[in-house]
């Protein structure tokens, strides 16, 4: 683990991370999303904009998890089929 400080909207957050580049990119993505919600919904306070950003990122994460599960299932199906074909030779 490495120590890292990231800034999001001017606030600094000390973190322990495995991958500094990945965490810095993630923090930048969070900041960019919150800023986009500031433009789209300026009537909301910063906390609500941050929550919308978190929900958006969580939804993207769930989509990626579901896609990965589908790919792994297809890989397993293909692997089983290959094994069956090899046994029949």
pLDDT in tens, 36-54: 999 999 999 999 999 999 9
The whole-angstrom separation of Cα 54 and Cα 37 is 11
**37 alpha carbon, distance to own chain's centre:** 18
- Half-sphere exposure of residue 44: CA atoms within 13 angstroms, side-chain side: 16
- 78 and 86 in contact (C-beta within 8 Å)? no
pLDDT of residue 89: 85
* pLDDT digits 0-9 by tens, 52-86: 999 999 999 999 999 999 999 999 999 999 999 99
Residue 18: left if φ>0, alpha if ψ -120 to 50, beta else—which one? Answer: alpha
């Amino acid at each position: 683990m490495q120590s890292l400080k990231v800034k999001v909207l001017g606030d600094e957050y000390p973190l322990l991370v495995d991958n500094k580049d990945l965490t810095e990119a993630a923090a930048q993505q969070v900041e960019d999303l919150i800023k986009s919600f500031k433009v789209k919904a300026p009537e909301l306070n910063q906390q609500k904009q941050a929550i919308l950003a978190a929900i958006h990122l969580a939804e993207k994460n769930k989509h990626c998890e579901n896609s990965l599960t589908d790919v792994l299932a297809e890989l397993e199906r293909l692997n089983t089929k290959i094994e069956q074909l090899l046994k029949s030779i």
